[in-house]
Amino acid sequence: MKLRVIDSSGERGIPGALNMGIDEALLGSVSRFEAEPTLRFYTWSPACVTVGYFQSLEEEVDLEACRRSGVDAVRRLTGGGAVFHDAELTYSIILPLSHELAPDDILESYRRICSGLVAGLDRLGVEASFEPLNDISVGGKKISGNAQTRRGSCLLQHGTILLDSDPDRMFSLLKVPAEKLKGKLIEDVKSRVTGLRSLLGREVSAAETAASIKEGCAEAWGAELVSGGLSAAEAKAAASFAAERFSSLAWNARR
Amino acid sequence: MIARKDYKVLGGKLIRVELETDAGIVRRAAVKGDFFAHPEEAFERAEAGLVGLRIDELHSSARRLFGEGPLAIFGATPEDIAFALEGAAREAQGH
């Protein structure tokens, strides 16, 4: 099994709308058989809150607080909840549905894809396990959330691997049902979520994490990873999706 | 009349329903939340299928619409969604 790898984890982060635009462009090129199955690693700059496909950005996110803090806000192509993307490595994988990592059974495909992340975390010295449906945890605390969509003949799964978690900042950007609940929610996240830096007790970069995850994926999936980049057509499509979909009110305020 | 209802599913997901009714008929319905549904378009078709229903048939019809293949929902059941919709409908009726 051969996978193209596009790794920008050692470079400056990418704005949220463009990150989501690149993922959608890759979904298009792989589904048209113009590109090989692709594994991508990236980071975000500025920090960004994304919400799930079925969520309302306006109901979930304090958009004014985001503006004041210079944080982007984008609705994803994938379901799930609101995520604050800052100190993390993010990956996406785009596969035809005929691929062995993309069986019909959605839970099983999460399990197979996440096995590469678990093996990569193991290489960093972190004993992680897959937690159905779509999480990876260490010692009972979540370190990675993952979300999948299937469009046409393709699967897109993207997910995070936390380097650090900052629930105080995250909840300053999210709307909570009642202000008095905020303290409890922050404490709850602190007790349920962890990051690589606190687990390893040292500075860990997104690029170092990506290097280990690549090795883990190659081993767990029996894959040959081939370093590559976006084609000119993919880069053009990504910029167009970023501007016309993920920066637009029509998309972000649709639900 | 517009009614909103949040329903926390056992296990953590939050379903947020928005229901607009007029003379006991659903005019607009939105089922939002942090769940997953595959394919997403099938979920939106089920959601659109709520429009025009009588409030008293909302629960049973929602269970059927959101329970039909090929739609697969993770993190909430068709029953959960029907329950949240019924709660919003009751609010719309002033109960």
ipTM, two decimals, is: 0.96
CA–CA dist A48, A17 (Å, integer): 9
> Which chain A residues are within 8 Å of B75, Cβ to Cβ?
133
**What is the distance between the alpha carbons of residues A80 and A53, in angstroms, rounded to a whole number?**
7
Q: Which domains does chain A have, with CATH numbers?
A: 2-252 (3.30.930.10)
Indicate the residue of B6, B37, B39 with minimum beta-carbon distance to A54: B37
Strand partners, B12: none
Tokens at residue A93, please? 């994988």
Interface test with B, best of A31, A54, A157 (most B CBs within 10 A): A54
Query: What is the distance between the alpha carbons of residues A20 and A14, in angstroms, rounded to a whole number?
Result: 10
Strand partners, B29: B19
Q: Which of A17, A43, A16, A38 is nearest to A26 (CA)?
A: A38
The least confident of A18-27, A115-124, A138-147, B9-18 is: B9-18
Mean pLDDT across chain B, nearest whole number?
94
Q: Are B32 and A59 an interchain contact pair (Cβ–Cβ within 8 Å)?
A: yes
Number of other residues whose CB lies within 10 A of the CB of residue A142: 17
Contacts of A106 in chain B (CB under 8 A): 38, 72, 74
pLDDT at A220: 98
Closest partner residue to A56 (CB to CB) among B32, B37, B74 is B32
Pick A182 or A129 by higher pLDDT: A129
| Structure confidence at residue B37 (pLDDT) | 97
Give the closest residue to A83 by CA, choosing from A10, A173, A148: A173
Q: Give tens-digit pLDDT for B10-48.
A: 877 999 999 999 999 999 999 999 999 999 999 999 999
- Kindly list the distances between the CA atom of residue A148 and the CA atoms of A1, A10, A93, B36, B45, in Å, as whole numbers in the listed order: 21, 25, 9, 8, 20
**The pLDDT of residue A30:** 97
Task: Transcribe A86-114 into DSSP letters.
Answer: SSEEEEEEEEETTSTT--S-HHHHHHHHH
* Dist CA A4 CA A36 (whole Å): 6
Contacts of B6 in chain A (CB under 8 A): 177
Query: What is the tens place of the pLDDT at every residue in A47-69?
Result: 999 999 999 999 999 999 999 99
| pLDDT beyond 80 at A177 | no
pLDDT of res. A107: 96
The residue type at A17? A
Predicted TM-score of the model (pTM): 0.96
Give me the percent of chain A exceeding a pLDDT of 90.
94
What domains can you pick out in chain B, each with its CATH number? 2-92 (3.30.390.50)
* Residue pLDDT, tens place only, A140-151: 999 999 999 999
What pLDDT does B95 receive?
65
